[in-house]
């Protein structure tokens, strides 16, 4: 449950988004924690400048030899985004179940409680775990890798705060890593 508070103050927040997966999921992509905009929109990567959906669209359509310029983006529906993931055997969730956070800043996250990842691994046949950014990797390695026994593959963050990578570069890096499992 999101507790309303001034954006410059630490706020205790609980993850309210369900994981996206089914029994055919082979790849699990884990972020750290939903941004404020994602929590407001009640879906993953909801910040209009986050490049996650552009990257995933590129990967899925290229893997299926259907390259078309940005078939899926921030304005696509939740159903379209969910279907694209599941049709390509991709599961999506976050590492953190609850934490104290200021706004959407990963660097402000404290008092972490990890998600219970067992259901995904009991239901799906996950072959690879990819983490979206450094914090997701660090927390996955600390809390979840001992349970899953799968080493994470860290990918550069799709966050708008990660200005080091252009959209094109993110697409290339993510495609190179994920396409092996698609």
Distance CA 140, CA 95 (A): 6
Higher pLDDT, 76 or 56: 56
pLDDT at position 76 is: 83
Q: Which residue has the tokens 């290229």?
A: 62
Cα–Cα distance list, 143 to 37, 82, 86, 112 (Å): 26, 26, 25, 10
Residue 3, pLDDT above cutoff 50: no
Question: For the chain, which domains are there?
Answer: 10-181 (3.40.470.10)
Q: Which residue has the tokens 């309303």?
A: 4
Residue 122, pLDDT above cutoff 80: yes
Structure tokens at 67: 């390259």
Distance CA 96, CA 116 (A): 9
pLDDT at position 100 is: 94
Q: Give the global pTM.
A: 0.91
Poorest-pLDDT segment among 99-108, 149-158, 167-176: 99-108
pLDDT at position 9 is: 83
Radius of gyration of the chain (CA): 15
Residue 169, pLDDT above cutoff 50: yes
pLDDT at position 2 is: 46
Q: What integer best gives the mean pLDDT of the chain?
A: 90
Higher pLDDT, 65 or 46: 46
Residue 43, pLDDT above cutoff 70: yes
pLDDT at position 158 is: 97
Residue 124, pLDDT above cutoff 70: yes
pLDDT-based confidence at residue 154 (cuts at 50, 70, 90): very high
Residue 5, pLDDT above cutoff 50: no
């Amino acid at each position: 449950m999101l507790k309303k508070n001034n954006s410059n103050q630490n706020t205790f927040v609980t993850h309210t988004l369900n994981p996206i997966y089914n029994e055919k999921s082979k790849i699990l992509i884990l972020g750290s924690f939903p941004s404020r905009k994602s929590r407001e929109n009640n879906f993953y990567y909801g910040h209009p400048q986050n490049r996650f959906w552009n990257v995933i669209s590129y990967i899925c359509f290229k893997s299926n030899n259907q390259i078309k310029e940005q078939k899926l983006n921030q304005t696509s529906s939740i159903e379209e985004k969910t279907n694209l993931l599941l049709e390509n055997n991709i599961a999506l969730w976050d590492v953190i179940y609850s934490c104290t956070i200021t706004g959407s800043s990963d660097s402000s996250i404290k008092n972490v409680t990890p998600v219970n990842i067992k259901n995904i691994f009991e239901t799906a046949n996950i072959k690879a775990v990819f983490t979206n950014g450094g914090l997701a990797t660090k927390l996955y390695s600390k809390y979840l890798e001992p349970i899953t026994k799968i080493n994470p593959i860290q990918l550069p963050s799709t966050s708008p705060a990660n200005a080091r990578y252009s959209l094109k570069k993110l697409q290339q890096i993510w495609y190179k890593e994920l396409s092996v499992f698609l």
